[in-house]
C-alpha cells in the first residue's frame, strides 16, 4: 500500500501563491480564529463517513491539523497543505498526540503527486475558495479517489438571503485581495463532484459551511 513519508521534502513544489502567504502570516492565529467553524464540521463529516479500519484517507488542506485528532487510529491518513508554516503547526500536533497513523507533506491541491485511485476517502475542508484553478482541483480530488470511494468537501458557499448576501458582496473586493473567493455555490460543488451519489449535511438550517459527501460510482 502506498503511503507518504511524513512531511516529505521531495514534494516542495513552486513558491507559495498569494493565498498561501496569507495563511502563513496568520498561522499562529489560525486555530483560535477558525476552530469554532472548522472542528464541528470535521467531526460531523467523519461521523457520517465512518472510515473503515485500514481505510486510506487524504486530507487536502490539512492546515494546522485541527482535523487530525478526529481520525480513527485504525485508518491511514495523509494530510497535505501548500503552506509550510501551517504544516509546522500540524506536525507539532501529530508529534504531541503520537498520531503514528498520520503523515504530513507539502503539496499543491491542484497537482497531487499520488497515483490515481489510491485513496478510499478524500476530504478537503475550506480549500475550494482559495485554489488557483478550481476545475483542476476538483478533477484531482476525483482522480486520486478510487471507484466506490468517497469525496467530502466542506466549504463556504455564498449567501442567497439578505442581509448576508449584501454584506458578502460588499466584502468581495477585500476577500479577493486576500486570495479568497466567495463566489462558490453549493450547486457548483455538487456538479463538480459528480458522477456519484451526493448528499448535503448542515449543522444549522441555513449553514454557509455545508458538508457535501459524494459516494462515487463503480465506474467513476
CATH tag for 18-215 (out of 3.40.50.150, 3.40.605.10, 1.20.1250.20, 3.30.1330.60): 3.40.50.150
Q: Tell me the C-alpha distance between 199 and 132, whole Å.
A: 26
Number of C-beta neighbours around residue 96 at 10 A: 10
- Predicted confidence at residue 166, as pLDDT, reads 46
Phi-psi region of 116 (alpha: psi -120 to 50; beta: other; left: phi over 0): beta
Say yes or no to pLDDT of 16 above 90: no
Say yes or no to pLDDT of 118 above 70: yes
Say yes or no to pLDDT of 91 above 60: yes
Q: What are the residue boundaries of the structural domains of the chain, listed by start? A: 18-215
What is the β-pairing status of strands 211-215 and 145-154? antiparallel
Provide, rounded to the nearest whole percent, the portion of the chain with pLDDT above 70.
76
Q: Tell me the C-alpha distance between 182 and 175, whole Å.
A: 7
Say yes or no to pLDDT of 93 above 80: yes
How does residue 207 score in pLDDT terms, banded at 50, 70 and 90? Answer: confident
Instruction: Identify the CA nearest to 152 among candidates 87, 86, 19, 55.
Output: 55
Specify the pTM: 0.84
Amino acid at each position: 500500500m502506498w503511503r507518504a513519508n511524513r512531511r516529505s521534502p521531495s514534494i516542495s513544489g513552486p513558491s507559495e501563491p498569494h493565498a498561501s502567504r496569507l495563511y502563513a502570516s496568520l498561522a499562529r492565529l489560525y486555530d483560535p480564529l477558525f476552530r469554532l467553524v472548522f472542528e464541528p464540521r470535521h467531526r460531523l463529516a467523519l461521523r457520517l463517513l465512518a472510515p473503515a479500519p485500514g481505510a486510506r484517507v487524504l486530507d487536502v488542506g490539512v492546515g494546522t491539523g485541527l482535523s487530525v485528532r478526529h481520525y480513527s487510529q485504525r485508518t491511514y491518513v495523509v494530510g497535505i497543505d501548500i503552506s509550510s508554516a501551517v504544516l509546522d503547526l500540524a506536525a507539532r500536533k501529530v508529534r504531541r498526540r503520537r498520531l503514528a497513523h498520520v503523515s504530513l507533506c507539502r503539496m499543491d491541491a491542484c497537482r497531487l503527486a499520488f497515483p490515481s485511485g489510491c485513496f478510499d476517502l478524500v476530504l478537503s475542508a475550506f480549500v475550494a475558495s482559495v485554489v488557483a484553478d478550481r476545475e483542476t482541483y476538483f478533477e484531482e480530488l476525483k482522480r486520486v479517489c478510487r471507484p466506490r470511494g468517497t469525496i467530502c468537501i466542506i466549504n463556504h458557499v455564498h449567501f442567497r438571503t439578505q442581509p448576508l448576501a449584501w454584506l458578502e458582496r460588499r466584502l468581495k473586493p477585500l476577500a479577493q485581495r486576500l486570495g479568497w473567493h466567495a463566489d462558490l455555490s453549493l450547486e457548483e460543488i455538487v456538479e463538480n463532484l459528480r458522477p456519484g451519489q451526493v448528499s448535503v449535511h448542515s449543522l444549522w438550517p441555513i449553514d454557509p459551511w455545508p458538508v457535501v459527501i459524494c459516494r462515487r460510482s463503480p465506474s467513476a
